[in-house]
Amino acid sequence: MKRAFFSFVLICITAFGLFAQDDEILMTIDGQPVTKAEFEYIYKKNNNNVFSEADKKSPEDYLDLFIDFKLKVIEAENLKMDTSQAFINELAGYRKEVAAPYLTDTNFDEQLVKETYNRMTKEVDASHILLRLDQNATPDQEAKVLERITNIREEIVNGKDFGEAAVEYSEDPSAKDNKGHLGYFTAFMMVAPFEDAAFETPVGEVSEPVRTRFGYHIIKVNDVRKNKGEILVAHIMKNVANDASEETRKAQKEKIDAIYEELLKGADFAEMAKKESDDRRTATEGGKMPWFAAGRIIPEFSNPAFAIENIGDFTKPVETAFGYHIIKKLDEKPVASFEDMKAEIETRIKRDPERSNSSQHAFIASLKDEYGYSENEANKKVLAEKTILDSASVSKLVLFSIYGKDYTGADFTSWIANNKQQNPIYSTQFEQWVDAEVLALEDAKLEIKHPEFKFLMKEYHDGILLFNISQEKIWNYASQDSAGLEAFYEKNKGIHMWNERFKGSIISCEDPAVHEQADNLFGAGLSNDEVMEHINVDGELIQFKTGAWEEGENPIVDYFVWNGPKPAGFNEEVTFVRGDKVGPEPKELDEARGLYISDYQKYLEEKWIKELRSKYKVKINKKVLKTVPGV
């Protein structure tokens, strides 16, 4: 939950080095300076990852959101939330994760970058079988799983159908449904060893076993095609839940077919999407979706989308696990040129040690040179054959120096104890200790050497505090403050309204004779309970489903009340409705509790922001603000 919440923290990390490193003060909040560099970093990062172009903001427009964010963080700091051990531990965990790519040698050559780009111009359609195995498995466990996957491959090579084998053997849960079929993908969409095997295996053949961090795979390559790049589409959707009845499914199919007929007659696609699409997030934009590549969305949707030849054309209704769609092609763009992609490819390789061809030893050697590492050879020889039991005899010996600091035998002994090393002989641990201390020195200097790392850690620091204080002040409070919620509801009753509804009962009878008997009893003024008591003497001959339905929620009610289409297989001689239409009316609190809690949270947050703006003085340097470029 916390990771999903960090709107400032967990948007995908963009290419570093693009952000201003200017230390000009943009503003002060409660006397605390905020640099132009920090604001520009957050502003660019969030505006480059918005859902649509219309959501982008100018620096001036974005400033208020940023100030609100910083006010909450400063309040959390003043409440000492950043001193709790839970906060300290959590931030340390994030730092370790973010620092990892910086503490690995990431040299890579032009050939690797070009090869990766060549892969990006293609898409591989593959299937796989997975046998899971922990990364820390013992050699014996490795051997057993490798033998199993090798035997499975042998069965397939000798004629067993790959899909059947996937259903029978694969430990990927999705294999039971998709028979191991993954669809099309390109570079960077799979872990590196899997990608390597998929791109290196000829079409129609099965790879040798491949070890990844998930276990052992065998991969069958079904097809290789040119990467069509990305497309921009709009869609109109009629949602069908997984557990929907056949009646509901048919009703939604009839609706999407009717929409398709209207489009063929010249109806405006965007207007139809706004009016008819069940995907309300895209409906407001005329059905427009974000740009996507073929492998980034389910094949049931992407395959027909990419099959559209001309911009402006649209598909017939297509079915996915989410329902029925009509897809219109709005634009397309091919894979960018190597020159345009090179910097991004290098950055992505750098963040993935599995892809780089570098040596950690070479990296540490370069750090030693940078920081002026030197060893005391005479004292180092003293370590030969000495164990930790001899620690007193080596504790004062200077063993090496780096960046102006001496490291002694006492430091070495402490490291061995802290890391619970199994071998107590000093000489066997020396190089490992030196490497650890060199990396620790580099780790301590990441914020100084890499401004983008400093900004990212500031994001995590502020994001955790923002989450914690919002949870305390808004989310938990709103859900637990029943009296406040009730008062808010009474004051704002009517925000959430029912549309016109039918209130009454759907009545199902055993046969037409029971229907006629029920009509006579209702005509005599009997209630539902009384009718049921009279008729169900010798068994359940009549059933009542009582409730309230808006148009479109129940096909039987739609048929009787709103002159909707007759549901497939429906028999009106044994099923009928009794009740009345009622006009729009406010939803009761229990009927829309989640919506009203959300509204109450928004109200509390707005009130809180006003209090914070009154409590803390904000001073903005407008001249500096004008120098922040928009995106």
**For 413-447, what is each residue's pLDDT tens digit?**
999 888 876 656 788 789 889 999 999 999 999 99
Residues 128 and 170 sit within 8 Å (Cβ to Cβ): yes
Residue 419 lies in a domain: no
Of residues 168, 48, 97, the one with CA closest to residue 456: 97
Sign for the pseudo-dihedral over CA of 383, 386, 388, 391: negative
pLDDT digits (tens, 9 = 90+) for 363-396: 888 899 999 999 999 999 888 778 877 889 899 9
Q: Indicate the SS3 state at residue 184.
A: strand
Q: Residue 212 is part of a domain; what is its CATH number?
A: 3.10.50.40
Q: Identify whether residues 205 and 249 lie together within a single domain.
A: no
Residue 243 lies in a domain: yes
Q: What is the pLDDT of residue 105?
A: 63
Residues 618 and 28 sit within 8 Å (Cβ to Cβ): yes
Q: Identify whether residues 131 and 217 lie together within a single domain.
A: yes
Structure tokens at 277: 């699409």
d(CA 539, CA 546): 20
Residues 560 and 576 sit within 8 Å (Cβ to Cβ): yes
Structure tokens at 456: 């990212």
Q: Identify whether residues 222 and 306 lie together within a single domain.
A: no
d(CA 575, CA 593): 33
Q: Is the pLDDT of residue 499 over 70?
A: yes
d(CA 563, CA 575): 16
Sign for the pseudo-dihedral over CA of 239, 240, 241, 244: positive
Q: What is the pLDDT of residue 183?
A: 86
Structure tokens at 181: 């079929």
Residues 308 and 315 sit within 8 Å (Cβ to Cβ): yes
Residues 240 and 278 sit within 8 Å (Cβ to Cβ): no
Q: Identify whether residues 236 and 215 lie together within a single domain.
A: no
The residues, any chain, with a CB within 8 Å of residue 237's CB and separated by 6 or more, are 277, 278, 279, 322, 323, 324, 325
Residue 282 lies in a domain: yes
Please state, in angstroms and as integers, the Cα–Cα distance from residue 374 to each residue in 396, 398, 432, 434, following that order: 17, 11, 16, 11
pTM of this structure: 0.53
The type of residue at 115 is: E
CA dihedral 188, 192, 195, 197 (to 10 degrees): 170
pLDDT bucket at 328, cuts 50 / 70 / 90: very high
Please give the full DSSP string across 324-340, using - where no structure is assigned: EEEEEEEEEE-PPPHHH
d(CA 466, CA 608): 13
Structure tokens at 252: 């939604």
- In our burial notation (b when 16+ CB lie closer than 10 A, e otherwise), range 92-107 reads eebbeebbebbbbbbe
Residues 325 and 317 sit within 8 Å (Cβ to Cβ): yes
pLDDT digits (tens, 9 = 90+) for 465-495: 999 999 999 989 988 999 999 999 999 998 9
Q: Identify whether residues 235 and 222 lie together within a single domain.
A: no
Domains held by the chain: number: 3
Q: Identify whether residues 183 and 235 lie together within a single domain.
A: no
Residue ending a domain, choose from 192, 226, 260? 226
Residue 557 lies in a domain: yes
Helix %, strand %, coil % of the chain (to 5):
50, 20, 30
CA-based angle 303:49:349, to the nearest 5?
75
Q: Identify whether residues 256 and 315 lie together within a single domain.
A: yes
pLDDT digits (tens, 9 = 90+) for 595-622: 999 999 999 999 999 999 999 999 999 9
Residue 541 lies in a domain: yes
Q: Is the pLDDT of residue 15 over 60?
A: no
Whole-number percent of the chain with pLDDT over 90 = 68
Residues 32 and 38 sit within 8 Å (Cβ to Cβ): no
pLDDT bucket at 359, cuts 50 / 70 / 90: very low
Residues 514 and 541 sit within 8 Å (Cβ to Cβ): yes
Region 274-299 average pLDDT: 88
- In our burial notation (b when 16+ CB lie closer than 10 A, e otherwise), range 555-566 reads bbbbbbbeebee
pLDDT digits (tens, 9 = 90+) for 298-321: 888 988 999 999 999 999 999 998
Residue ending a domain, choose from 280, 303, 333? 333
Helix axis angle, 269-276 relative to 246-264, nearest 10°?
160
For 523, the domain range is 497-586
Residue 191 lies in a domain: yes
Residue 490 lies in a domain: no
Residues 409 and 391 sit within 8 Å (Cβ to Cβ): yes
- Residue 544, strand partner residues: 507
Residue 351 lies in a domain: no
Q: Identify whether residues 256 and 196 lie together within a single domain.
A: no
Q: Identify whether residues 207 and 171 lie together within a single domain.
A: yes
Q: Identify whether residues 522 and 545 lie together within a single domain.
A: yes
Q: What is the pLDDT of residue 352?
A: 79
- Report the side by side order of strands in the sheet with 323-333: 292-293, 230-239, 323-333, 318-320
Reading phi first (left if > 0) and then psi (alpha if -120 to 50, else beta), residue 30 is in left
The residues, any chain, with a CB within 8 Å of residue 438's CB and separated by 6 or more, are 364, 367, 368, 371, 373, 402
pLDDT bucket at 348, cuts 50 / 70 / 90: confident
Q: HSE (CB half, 13 Å, CA atoms) of 390?
A: 13
Q: What is the pLDDT of residue 570?
A: 94
Residue ending a domain, choose from 298, 333, 368? 333
Q: Which of 4-18, 196-210, 329-343, 542-556 has the lowest average pLDDT?
A: 4-18
CA dihedral 593, 598, 604, 609 (to 10 degrees): 180
Q: Indicate the SS3 state at residue 157.
A: helix
Structure tokens at 595: 């919506």
Q: What is the pLDDT of residue 343?
A: 87
Q: Is the pLDDT of residue 578 over 70?
A: yes
Residues 209 and 217 sit within 8 Å (Cβ to Cβ): yes
Q: Identify whether residues 552 and 516 lie together within a single domain.
A: yes
H helix count then E strand count, the chain = 28, 19
